[in-house]
């Protein structure tokens, strides 16, 4: 092994996720994480180690052109990287400058995201929201068990882990009033999600079938879909969430190849009633990936407020993609598809403050004795996720976002 990999590292030899990094004012390059280090993949290509990778695809500042080479090549790269890292006499040893510490580089958005879609695929989350805001007797809407419900989100405001964001302002409707007011959101929330990144484009008019879907999925990230619940509540009927969501979303820096997650495939929840043929699939298509969310108030230790699992999802990624394209909608390399909030059955596994505080009717204690119903200014939200099986650990690292006070725009 060319570097020491700490026990319990998300970035084991079985992972090898890709990201975009820079050093100082240097160019954006492709890196591959290993333990606490990363390998300067762009430089490896420049040095001729990956003859199947054209130089121009590793110097664009995003992964899109590399990903677009296709799975045959990216999987060859993956195998070769594994060899290089495991080999004590590796060529890499003669170029120690190509092995960097993650703590010494700056990470950037891994892909240019053309379109971003967010699904709503957790039965427990959809049910909780329905119970709180609609009729507890009819919490799930009639279409929910037939359609992996989704909607389009905003690409421009998706930012890399670590970026600080401002509390959003907007219109809300005060209780017992029918006149809206302008002001800061008072119900700022996170949503615990994963997202997958498209690795192969489809043609307009041509659906992707469930049994082809994996070929179109390059990899996965963690995703925090920030939500301003009070803005969302006033605006979302009839055309869906807009300003309550599009002020920012955070993604984790390292894109974990879907192949690295295959070992964690498990059976999903039984789907009842049976879904239409275009949504049927074969095999285990859920993934056992443990997830957690922590809130860290300013100058205080973090407190883990949710422990969930990606395996809870009712609709799987193959179904999401088959549904998204069944009408001929085309997808492009770099498109991002969010899972929707991932909640489990237990209260401790709910993936948003909306659910954890049950619409503000309960409080969550922080390590410093303060309490939260929603998020305060200067709170940092940290999400983590990893799979672990048979001694193999593959994880996403963290997605971190800190909330700064609203900007005054008078």
Q: Which of 78, 132, 139, 242 binds its own copies (CB under 8 A)?
A: 242
> What binding mask, one character per residue, do residues 218-237 give for its own copies by CB under 8 A, x or -?
----------x--x--xxxx
Query: Cβ(90)–Cβ(82) under 8 Å?
Result: no
Please enumerate in sequence order all residues whose Cβ is within 8 A of that of 214, keeping only pairs 6 or more positions apart, or say none: 258, 318
Query: Cβ(243)–Cβ(231) under 8 Å?
Result: yes
Task: Read off the tokens for 45.
Answer: 């290509």
Q: Which of 174, 205, 283, 363 binds its own copies (CB under 8 A)?
A: 205
Task: Read off the tokens for 28.
Answer: 């954006």
Q: Which of 187, 229, 324, 372 binds its own copies (CB under 8 A)?
A: 324
Residues 129-158 that bind its own copies (CB under 8 A): 141-143, 146-147, 149-157
Task: Work out how close the CB of 271 gets to its own copies at its nearest, in angstroms, rounded to a whole number.
Answer: 14
Q: Which of 53, 159, 197, 382 binds its own copies (CB under 8 A)?
A: 159
Region of residue 20 (left: phi > 0; alpha: psi -120 to 50; beta: else): beta
How many other CB atoms are there within 10 angstroms of residue 121's CB atom?
25
248 near its own copies (CB under 8 A): yes
- What CA–CA distance (Å, rounded) separates 258 from 14? 11
Task: Read off the tokens for 72.
Answer: 């045959």
- C-beta closer to its own copies: residue 150 or 297: 150
- C-beta closer to its own copies: residue 102 or 341: 341
> What binding mask, one character per residue, do residues 45-84 give for its own copies by CB under 8 A, x or -?
----------------------------------------
Residue 125 bears catalytic tag: yes
Q: Which of 64, 74, 246, 357 binds its own copies (CB under 8 A)?
A: 246
- C-beta closer to its own copies: residue 213 or 261: 213
Task: Read off the tokens for 150.
Answer: 């989704």
- C-beta closer to its own copies: residue 234 or 281: 234
Among 74, 68, 14, 10, residue whose Cα is nearest residue 41: 74
Which of 37, 125, 250, 386 is catalytic? The answer is 125
Q: Which of 1, 23, 55, 276 binds its own copies (CB under 8 A)?
A: 276
204 near its own copies (CB under 8 A): yes
- Window contacting its own copies (CB under 8 A); options: 85-93, 213-221, 274-282, 385-393: 274-282
Strand 256-257 to strand 265-266: parallel, antiparallel, or no bridges (unpaired)? unpaired
- Window contacting its own copies (CB under 8 A); options: 1-9, 213-221, 296-304, 326-334: 326-334
Q: Which of 329, 358, 364, 388 binds its own copies (CB under 8 A)?
A: 329
166 near its own copies (CB under 8 A): yes
Please enumerate in sequence order all residues whose Cβ is within 8 A of that of 399, keeping only pairs 6 or more positions apart, or say none: 161, 221, 222, 223, 224, 250, 251, 252, 382, 383
- C-beta closer to its own copies: residue 56 or 156: 156
Task: Work out how close the CB of 92 gets to its own copies at its nearest, in angstroms, rounded to a whole number.
Answer: 36
206 near its own copies (CB under 8 A): yes
- C-beta closer to its own copies: residue 207 or 344: 207
321 near its own copies (CB under 8 A): no
Which residues form the catalytic set?
A: 125
Using CB under 8 A, list all residues that contact its own copies: 114-115, 120, 141-143, 146-147, 149-157, 159, 165-166, 168-171, 173, 178-182, 185, 204-207, 209, 228, 231, 234-243, 246-248, 273, 276-278, 323-324, 326-332, 335, 407, 409
């Amino acid at each position: 092994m060319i570097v020491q990999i700490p026990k319990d590292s998300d970035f084991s030899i079985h992972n090898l996720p890709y990201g975009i990094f820079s050093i100082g004012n240097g160019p954006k390059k492709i890196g591959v994480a290993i333990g606490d280090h990363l390998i300067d993949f762009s430089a490896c290509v420049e040095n001729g180690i990956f003859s199947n990778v054209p130089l121009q695809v590793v110097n664009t500042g995003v992964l899109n052109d590399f990903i677009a080479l296709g799975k045959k090549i990216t999987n060859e790269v993956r195998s070769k990287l594994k060899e290089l890292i495991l080999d004590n006499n590796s060529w890499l040893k003669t170029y120690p400058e190509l092995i960097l510490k993650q703590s010494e580089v700056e990470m950037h958005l891994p892909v240019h995201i053309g379109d971003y879609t967010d699904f709503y695929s957790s039965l427990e989350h959809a049910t909780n929201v329905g119970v709180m805001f609609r009729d507890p007797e009819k919490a799930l809407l009639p279409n929910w068990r037939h359609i992996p419900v989704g909607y389009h989100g905003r690409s421009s405001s998706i930012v890399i882990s670590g970026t600080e964001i401002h509390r959003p302002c907007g219109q809300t409707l005060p209780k017992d009033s029918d006149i809206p007011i302008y002001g800061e959101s008072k119900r700022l929330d996170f949503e615990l999600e994963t997202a997958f990144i498209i690795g192969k484009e489809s043609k307009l008019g041509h659906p992707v079938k469930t049994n082809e879907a994996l070929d179109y999925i390059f990899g996965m990230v963690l995703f925090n879909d920030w939500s301003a619940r009070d803005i969302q509540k006033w605006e979302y009927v009839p055309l869906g969430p807009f300003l309550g969501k599009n002020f920012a979303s955070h993604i984790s820096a390292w894109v974990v190849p879907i192949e690295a997650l295959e070992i964690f495939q498990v059976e999903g929840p039984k789907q009842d009633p049976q879904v239409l043929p275009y949504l049927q699939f074969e095999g285990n298509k859920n993934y056992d990936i443990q997830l957690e969310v922590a809130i860290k108030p300013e100058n205080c230790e973090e407190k883990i407020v949710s422990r969930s699992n990606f395996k809870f999802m009712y609709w799987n990624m193959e179904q999401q993609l088959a549904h998204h394209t069944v009408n001929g909608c085309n997808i492009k390399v770099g498109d991002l598809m969010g899972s929707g909030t991932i909640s489990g059955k237990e209260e401790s596994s709910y993936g948003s403050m909306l659910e954890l505080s049950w619409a503000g009717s309960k409080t969550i204690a922080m390590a410093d004795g303060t309490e939260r119903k929603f998020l305060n200014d200067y709170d940092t939200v940290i999400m983590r996720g990893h799979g672990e099986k048979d001694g193999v650990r593959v994880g996403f690292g963290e997605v971190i976002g800190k909330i700064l006070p609203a900007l005054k725009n008078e």
